[in-house]
């Protein structure tokens, strides 16, 4: 039986970033099969002895087939809800310039941080485009090996999609209730009313409540506690790696 559980329900307390100019991110909920991979490492299945799981720069998160899901929380006010068969990476976690990557799959994101007009930037790198986030609710999906290159849909706020591979390197600004298809070649896509992401829109109230609940649980702890969390995760990963290498 596949059972969903909340990684931070009782014991996960958020902590300030180990470096002041870095964001702090946590894997706070999982359902089904979810793996994490440190930068330069291998995929480890998330298990109950890895409940307090901070995510570092360069770390990846991958979900298995449905009903597998995962939620990443960043700085308390931002969340990414990963769907099934999704691979996601925290490529760069600098406060001034944050880069996240979606290799395949889908996510819904609620960014409460007001990035527009600030000295901070957040970009989502997709196989065919780069999304500049400005404080918003939006969803994206991509299938690099599928029939479609994916799409982006906005529910609130704005997202700017940049297509460096298309002629003229166009940037397309999407507002509320708009979406576009992601393309690798040909003319730039035109914004249209939500269609591809209507199913996500129908779940907005559930996703918003989920985000609000996680935000309410976000707390800071002393440096000693932060170090203990990190060391526990490292030990768990080393133990899992030894078990994998055993004949």
Tell me the pLDDT tens digit for each residue of 3-52.
343 444 333 333 344 446 889 888 989 999 999 998 888 898 887 566 56
Least confident interval from 8-12, 177-181, 206-210, 220-224: 8-12
- The pTM for the full model equals 0.85
pLDDT of residue 130: 95
pLDDT of residue 83: 97
pLDDT of residue 224: 65
pLDDT over 80 (residue 235): no
pLDDT of residue 52: 60
The pair phi, psi for residue 153, each rounded to 5°, is -130, 140
Alpha carbons 162 and 166: distance in angstroms, whole number? 9
Can you list the positions of beta strands (E) in the chain? Answer: 5-6, 25-31, 34-37, 44-45, 54-55, 60-63, 69-74, 78-82, 87-93, 97-111, 121-125, 130-133, 137-142, 151-156, 159-162, 171-174, 178-181, 192-193
How confident is the model over 144-172, as pLDDT tens digits? 676 668 999 999 999 999 997 787 888 99
Beta-bridge partner residues of 6: 29
Beta-bridge partner residues of 25: 55, 74
> What number of other Cβ atoms are within 10 A of residue 161's Cβ?
25
């Amino acid at each position: 039986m596949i059972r969903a559980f909340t990684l931070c329900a009782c014991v996960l307390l958020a902590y300030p970033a180990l470096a002041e100019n870095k964001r702090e991110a946590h894997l706070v909920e999982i359902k089904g099969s979810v793996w994490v991979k440190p930068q330069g490492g291998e995929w480890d299945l998330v298990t109950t002895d890895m409940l307090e799981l901070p995510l570092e720069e360069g770390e990846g998160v991958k979900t298995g087939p449905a009903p597998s899901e995962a939620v990443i929380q960043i700085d308390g006010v931002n969340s990414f809800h990963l769907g099934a068969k999704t691979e996601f990476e925290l490529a760069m976690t600098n406060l001034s310039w944050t880069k996240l990557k979606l290799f395949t799959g889908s996510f819904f994101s609620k960014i409460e941080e007001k990035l527009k007009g600030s000295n901070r930037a957040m970009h989502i790198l997709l196989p065919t485009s780069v999304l500049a986030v400005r404080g918003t609710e939006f969803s994206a999906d991509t299938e690099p090996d599928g029939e479609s290159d994916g799409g982006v849909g906005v529910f609130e706020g704005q997202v700017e999609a940049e297509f460096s591979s298309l002629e003229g390197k166009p940037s397309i600004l999407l507002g509320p209730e708009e979406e576009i298809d992601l393309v690798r070649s040909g003319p730039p896509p035109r914004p249209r009313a939500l269609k591809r992401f209507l199913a996500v829109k129908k779940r907005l109230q559930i996703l918003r409540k989920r985000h609000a609940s996680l935000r309410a649980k976000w707390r800071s702890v002393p440096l000693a506690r932060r170090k203990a969390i990190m060391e526990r995760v490292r030990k768990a990963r080393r133990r899992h790696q030894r078990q994998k290498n055993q004949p």
